[in-house]
């Protein structure tokens, strides 16, 4: 039964992620050093680190590949969010964003007329009502074609994954995190700003596997990874609370009880005395009842790397990069 549910989750996620919720010299290059002063705010966003690396053209720091499901999900939802929130800034030659829908189903019924199964055997494309910039949409469709060619391989890898259920739920969390990002993206960065334009140009270049337009200044996320985490006494309870608050924004049912972190325990440290593994308890509400859970956080070079929650203890949740950056800067020092 678990394998069947996992298969359905995998197939459903692939369908969900495709719907709503040497290059020529670029014009930006003519601005010379002025472009180094562009601002692109990603603070607090779920995929903040990825957005910042794309904006800066520092593709070498990006762990995600264009073939990854996460990238298509981000690209797709960015275009839809821009088309919904910033349509006034779209060019005259804007193109329709299309939805893939079922055109014909095959259904089977039992002797009593009850529906036993319904399988779509033919799909078609219909306008979503949203529009996009043609160069960005064409780049997104190129990624879409690549991922569709890998569709069976992707589904099989989900099914064969020993942690398939946890990773499927994690994909839902990522989708919720991305939804929250797109609700804030154009409040943090106006749709006609130079920062957004640079981000879009580099997003397209990354999708087409071409070199990005680079900024000289390093990303704060790259700097913190190079310098590592802080030494000395840290308020780990406050850090864990902030990390759970951020994660809880993507939870489907449970609601975290703020400031309920207790029993913080450092399980191991590195040769500088910094935590390598920390465990703590917390409270949450689900379906009207209050319950307790635990979270284990592992650290690499003194920085939070993975969060493992009690319900899926083998599934690594990535800590919010903006919070980790604040921790690296000493904001949680006692």
Summarised one tens digit per residue, pLDDT across range 174-228 is 899 999 999 999 999 999 999 999 999 999 999 999 999 999 999 999 999 999 9
Give the model's pLDDT for residue 58: 98
Cα 240 from chain centroid (whole Å): 20
Number of domains in the chain: 2
Residue 133 lies in a domain: yes
The verdict on 8 and 107 lying in the same domain is yes
Give the model's pLDDT for residue 70: 93
| 285-311 residue pLDDT tens | 987 788 999 999 999 999 999 999 999
Q: Which residue, 190, 217, 244, sits at the end of a domain?
A: 217
CA dist 59 → 124, 205, 288 (Å): 35, 10, 45
Give the model's pLDDT for residue 287: 79
The verdict on 157 and 86 lying in the same domain is yes
The verdict on 194 and 237 lying in the same domain is no
Domain that holds residue 318: 228-328
Q: Are 318 and 170 in contact (CB under 8 A)?
A: no
Give the model's pLDDT for residue 55: 98
Give the model's pLDDT for residue 288: 76
Give the model's pLDDT for residue 31: 42
Q: Which residue, 171, 191, 217, sits at the end of a domain?
A: 217
Q: What stretches in the chain show pLDDT beneath 70?
A: 1-37, 151-168
Q: Which residue, 217, 246, 276, sits at the end of a domain?
A: 217
Give the model's pLDDT for residue 103: 94
How are the residues of the chain apportioned to helix, strand and coil, as percentages rounded to the nearest 5?
A: 45, 25, 30
CA atoms within 13 A on the CB side of 5: 9
Q: Are 319 and 297 in contact (CB under 8 A)?
A: yes
The verdict on 198 and 232 lying in the same domain is no
Residue 333 lies in a domain: no
């Amino acid at each position: 039964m678990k394998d069947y549910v996992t298969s359905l989750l995998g197939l459903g996620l692939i369908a969900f992620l495709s719907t709503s919720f040497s290059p020529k010299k670029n014009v930006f290059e003519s601005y010379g050093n002025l472009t180094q002063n562009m601002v692109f705010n990603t603070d607090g966003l779920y995929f903040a680190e990825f957005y910042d690396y794309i904006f800066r053209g520092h593709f070498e720091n990006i762990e995600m590949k264009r073939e990854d499901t996460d990238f298509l999900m981000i690209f797709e939802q960015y275009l839809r969010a821009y088309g919904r929130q910033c349509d006034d800034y779209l060019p005259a030659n804007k193109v329709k964003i299309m939805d893939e829908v079922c055109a014909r189903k095959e259904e089977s019924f039992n002797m009593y007329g009850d529906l036993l199964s319904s399988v779509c055997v033919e799909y078609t494309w219909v306008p979503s009502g949203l529009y996009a910039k043609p160069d960005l949409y064409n780049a997104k469709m190129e990624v879409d074609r690549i991922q569709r060619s890998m569709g069976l391989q992707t589904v099989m890898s989900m099914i064969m994954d020993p942690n398939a259920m946890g990773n499927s739920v994690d994909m839902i969390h990522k989708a919720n995190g991305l939804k929250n990002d797109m609700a804030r993206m154009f409040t943090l960065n106006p749709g006609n700003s130079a920062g957004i334009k640079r981000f879009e140009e580099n997003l397209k270049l990354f999708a087409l596997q071409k070199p990005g337009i680079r900024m000289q200044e390093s990303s704060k996320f790259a700097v913190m990874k190079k310098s590592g985490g802080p030494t000395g006494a840290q308020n780990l309870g406050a850090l864990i609370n902030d990390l759970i608050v951020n994660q809880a924004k993507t939870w489907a049912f449970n609601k975290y009880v703020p400031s309920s972190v207790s029993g913080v325990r450092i399980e191991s440290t590195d040769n500088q005395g910094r935590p390598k593994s920390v465990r703590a308890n917390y409270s949450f509400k689900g379906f009207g009842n209050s319950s307790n859970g635990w979270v284990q956080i592992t650290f690499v070079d003194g920085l939070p790397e993975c969060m493992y929650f009690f319900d899926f203890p083998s599934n690594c949740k990535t800590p919010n990069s903006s919070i980790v950056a604040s921790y690296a800067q000493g904001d949680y020092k006692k």
